[in-house]
Amino acid sequence: AFELYVRWSGLADKLQAGTYRVPAGLTEVQLIQLLERNTGGTSVTLTVPEGWTPGQIGRAAESKGLFSAAAYLDVVQHGTFSDAFLAGRPAGADLTGYLFPDTYYLAPDAKPADLVQLQLRRFGEVVTPELRARAQVHGLTFHQALTMASIIEREAAFAEDRAPIAQVFYNRLAAGMPLQDDATLLFAKGVTSGIPTDADKQVNSPYNTYLHTGLPPGPICNPGLAAIQAALNPTPNDYLYFITDNAGHAHFARTLAEHEALIARYGVH
């Protein structure tokens, strides 16, 4: 099976000879990355968690001595790649959302485009055409569904909350209500954590979902498969509000009064 996959992927003549230290538990794809991208058996391991922004990925690569964060961001923002799933992006959109979270094995002299290409290849393998097609069920382009997934990734701390939260956002869209999502507001400010203030909610940005209805222009992070699946397969409900308590668990409400009662009960905003 491994040999067939290598030949099917067109990588049979690209695997590098050498002595390798192979970490336990690699998938076939990760093993191929290790053998393809490293000369002489040396490798740099870079783990990209779900929900990271391109800036966070670039800084992690820089800390590993691979290349500068600025060089990585330049490829993300201006690089040209031919993967079919990128065709539906709006003009001028960068690759945020498509840089799939995983563990990657790179040569010490790898270039930023090498990492981006590995991430895009992994995205295409995991996020199948059949899964991407489900965006049409919700009246969205796949890019919009990926934007939804990125918001879910940042909002849901627990697996069981992802799909119900997705439906809350769909309910608000259907009702013409702004999403009023703090994660998008933090993205508009250029940060990844914190508690937005009332003044922050007036930030002039298309990513400020307190001011603007509909989805923001694009993903706010790079979501994992579970968040993408939740965005494309939400759990039906009639909730319009949710909060997360101090432990990260989501609590749902149908009316503003119920929502305010939850805020008072759990002491959150």
- For the stretch 8-29, pLDDT in tens is 877 777 776 666 778 888 888 7
Residue 254 token pair: 């149908």
How confident is the model at residue 32, as a pLDDT?
80
- pLDDT beneath 70, residues of the chain: 16-19, 37-41, 269
How confident is the model at residue 189, as a pLDDT?
86
Q: Is the CA virtual torsion 231, 237, 241, 243 positive or negative?
A: negative
Whole-angstrom distance, CA of residue 58 vs CA of residue 42: 21
Residue 223 token pair: 């979501």
How confident is the model at residue 239, as a pLDDT?
97
Whole-angstrom distance, CA of residue 231 vs CA of residue 227: 6
How confident is the model at residue 41, as a pLDDT?
55
List the one residue out of 107, 1, 125, 109 whose CA is nearest residue 44.
107
How confident is the model at residue 219, as a pLDDT?
97
Rg (CA), the chain: 20
How confident is the model at residue 268, as a pLDDT?
81
How confident is the model at residue 19, as a pLDDT?
61
Give yes or no for a contact between 236 and 67, defined as CB atoms under 8 angstroms apart. Answer: no
Give yes or no for a contact between 15 and 36, defined as CB atoms under 8 angstroms apart. Answer: yes
CA distance between the termini of the chain: 52
Residue 235 token pair: 């759990």
Give Cβ neighbours of residue 118 (< 8 Å, ≥ 6 apart). 33, 37, 104, 106
Q: Is the CA virtual torsion 80, 29, 68, 222 positive or negative?
A: positive
How confident is the model at residue 228, as a pLDDT?
98
